[in-house]
Structure 1
Amino acid sequence: MRVLLLLLNVVLSCHFANAQDSWFKRFVKKTISDTASAGQSSFRVYPTLGYSPETSFEGGLSALLIFQAKKDSLNRLSEIQAFSFFTLEAQYGIWLDNAIYGDKDKWFILGRTRFQRFPLLYYGIGPETPEKDPALIDANYLLLRQRVLRKVRPNLFVGPEVDYQQLYNTHFNQPDNHQYEKPLGADGTRNLGLGAAVVYDNRHNVLNVRKGFFGEVSYLRYAPAFGSKTDFQAVSVDIRSSHPTSARNVLAWQVYGNFNSGDVPFNQLALMGGEMIMRGYYYGRYRDKNMVAAQLEHRWLPFGFSKRIGAVAFAGAAMVAPKINAFDTRYVRPSGGIGIRYLLFPKKDIFLRLDMGLTKDGPGFYLFTGEAF
């Protein structure tokens, strides 16, 4: 299970300590300060350090740019996040996520980019797979996904979507005491999907939603005519809602569904786990053509006794199936956990999150800027 840990205790101790200034303390103060006035952009870079059995020690940098179109504080908060890593096993990668709103919400550009050389653990396909001894697929992975959406009514956006995914330089390493049948795409795959998305979004702060609703339905078609190696289609449904229960407390929930048909490569099946939903499971621990998932989270942002420190408690459940009519409640997988929050940008109401997800497979740790959903 991949673990990402910021030197959060160092940051906090430097912030509250009364020791004489040093270059590191000045760097930390600059990182966690928030002096930008309303409407002004903010940019921060901070280090990360982690360890996992698959990668050994890893280090890197995270960066966050937040801004409002035309520096107008009445416009929604846009964000661009970047995360890079390098491990002692010579694995590396860079992630980039964007949620950009135009002036008066005329345009909404929502997407993510991934490039990495990183091991992919493979436990097989289906709702019931071996509990240990996964295969290890070492490969280069590239993902480019963007939605360019136009506002058609207040909070309602419609537009095209493109998704390009490529897996290359692959090596499928079988465990010593178990043999997996090679899945579709294990020797490399390249697929381009074209489609459209409909989004309803009345959130003002994407990274920390105090109150608001987000709903998305998207469709993508991957075909040899587009340059894809396989022919399949994918439908995704994502519904999120946040409700303030007091001035500092928020109750949020999410329902997510991913439904695929056709010849779907193993890396583009519906994948359970990761940093956003079903925290605690390795991303792809369970995979199949279809998945439904839900999660509930309570946030204390921040605690009443602190100006910067908060916490969350969350729980979720999900299941995968080869067909929509084959979902079986016997294979519902639960997860839950807790997390701490640190108010990184007080004037923008943006928190740094460190979550610990718990499942039967053990704990998983996640550090990112902004909430999971």
Structure 2
Amino acid sequence: MLVVLIAGLATTGAHAQDGWVRRFIQKTISDTTEPGKPSFRIYPTLGYAPETSVEVGLSSLFLFQAKGDTVNRLSEIQAFTFFTFQSQYGIWLDNAIYGDQDKWFFLGRVRFQRFPLMYYGIGPDVPDKEPALVDANYILVRQRILRRIRKNLFFGPEVDYQQLYNTQFNQPEDYVHDEPLGSNGTRNLGLGAALVYDNRHNVLNVRKGFFGELSFLRYDKDFGSHHSFQGVNLDVRSFHPLKTRNVLAWQVYGFFFTGNVPFNQLALMGGEMIMRGYYTGRYRDKNMIAAQVEHRWLPFSFSQRLGGAVFAGGAVVAPTITGFNAKHIRPSGGVGLRYLLFRKKDIYLRLDVGFTEDGPGFYLFTGEAF
């Protein structure tokens, strides 16, 4: 479980000291850019998790509109780097970039990290006994290069490269896990295509709109992959304004794969986006269906910068599409606080607490979970 705090925001207001510290904080939380001009912010983070000890890092966010035209959608590039006191490290990069007049849409993410992965097993009902700890280097590069084929509708190729190497599968002393496919390291390249409908204008804080993605990926030894498998991803999100400040949002996510799927590329329940509160991969299998709903106050009626959210969801994993069972559905829910980081661009910093059967999980990120 990871608890992350913004070190800079913790010292704002009357407690901030004079000099460069105060100037840095004011620069971080203020938004003085003109409409259409790019914005960039960088701020430190501090965290702790039992498997990593103390973690320090830097988060940054770059926002812009193609050709500086406010008619174009808001594009975002997020970066996060971290280092732990146990010599673990990582670099994350996420992008949602819209071209001029939406002619092109680039949607993707990059991950490089040496970070422990907890492995509980595969299946919808694995026990909560001590997990194995997989210590490895991990690379992920996933990108969709989409061309507009009609208003708000995009289609194009998708590539996904994932590699796990320098792997150590460390078993707990009193419980032995069967080592899964890929536990000694794996490298896989997937090629496919994605069809996306997207009429959102602000990806990080959608107040009204719809996003739907249907994609297919095939990983094959002919591509240089260690394993051959294929599957379909489905992601549907809808956003409905209830009042000027209130938004009701929901999401349905599906992951349906067949073949020899390595353990790190199975459907992973949990994380910062969906099923918050569960450790990423607490339950994993070849197939997953998940759904969540969230009510957001952006901001509260009594504040110009502070907002909040309540959310609830459920998910289930299964080895086959016909193997889903209602008794294996796992619930989650939680609450969150919001801080208006970019006033002119309507971007919030979120701190969420998700509650599950396994206990709470804490998340702090720029932008909403979905």
TM-score, structure 1 length as denominator? 0.98
| Equivalent runs, 1:333-372 vs 2, <5 Å | 333-372=330-369
Runs ≥4 in structure 1, deviation > 4 angstroms?
Answer: none
Give the whole-Å Cα distance in 1 for the aligned partners of 2:231 and 2:85. 36
* Counterpart AA for 2:30: S
Residue of structure 2 aligned with 1:189, choices 186, 189, 204? 186
Q: How far apart are the structure 1 equivalents of 2:163 and 2:17?
A: 50
- Gapped regions of structure 2 (runs ≥ 5): none
Deviation at 1:12, TM superposition (A): 6.0
The 5 Å alignment of 1:1-373 reads 1-7=1-7, 11=9, 14=12, 16-17=13-14, 21-373=18-370
- 1:19 positional shift: 6.4
How far, CA to CA, are the matches of 1:220 and 1:290 in structure 2? 14
Task: State the distance in 2 between where 1:241 and 1:214 align.
Answer: 6
Q: CA deviation at 1:234?
A: 1.9
Letter in 2 for 1:6: I
SS of corresponding position for 2:115: strand
* 1:267 aligned counterpart, secondary structure: helix
The AA in structure 1 aligned to 2:122 is I
Q: Calculate the TM-score normalised by the size of structure 2.
A: 0.99
1:297-345 Cα distance to aligned partner (Å, 9 max, x none): 0000001111100000000100000000010000000000011000000
Task: Give, as a single letter, the amino acid of the residue that structure 2 aligns with 1:131.
Answer: D
8 A contact 1:91–1:117 mirrored in 2: yes
1:132 to partner: Cα distance: 2.2
Contact in 2 for aligned 1:219/1:234 (Cα 8 Å): yes
Gaps of 5+ in 1: none
Is this contact kept in 2: 1:251–1:298, CA < 8 A? yes
Asked if structure 1 preserves the Cα contact closer than 8 Å seen for 2:16 and 2:22, the reply is no
Residue 17 of structure 1 aligns to a residue whose secondary structure is helix
Would you say the 8 A contact 1:2–1:282 is kept in 2?
Answer: no
CA distance in 1, matches of 2:263, 2:10: 42
C-alpha separation between the residues in 1 aligned to 2:325 and 2:228?
A: 27
Query: What one-letter code is carried by the residue in structure 1 that aligns with 2:19?
Result: S
Aligned partner letter, 2:187:
R
* TM-align CA RMSD: 1.0
Q: In 2, distance between residues paired with 1:19 and 1:129? A: 48
Give the SS at the match of 1:27.
helix
Tell which deviates more after alignment, 357-366 or 94-103. Answer: 357-366
Q: Report if aligned partners of 1:319, 1:327 keep a CA contact under 8 Å in 2.
A: yes
Give the fraction of aligned pairs with identical amino acids, expressed as a percent. 71
Partner Cα distance (1:94, 1:360) in 2:
30
User: SS state of the match for residue 325, structure 1?
Assistant: helix
Cα distance between partner residues in 2 of 1:148 and 1:211? 24
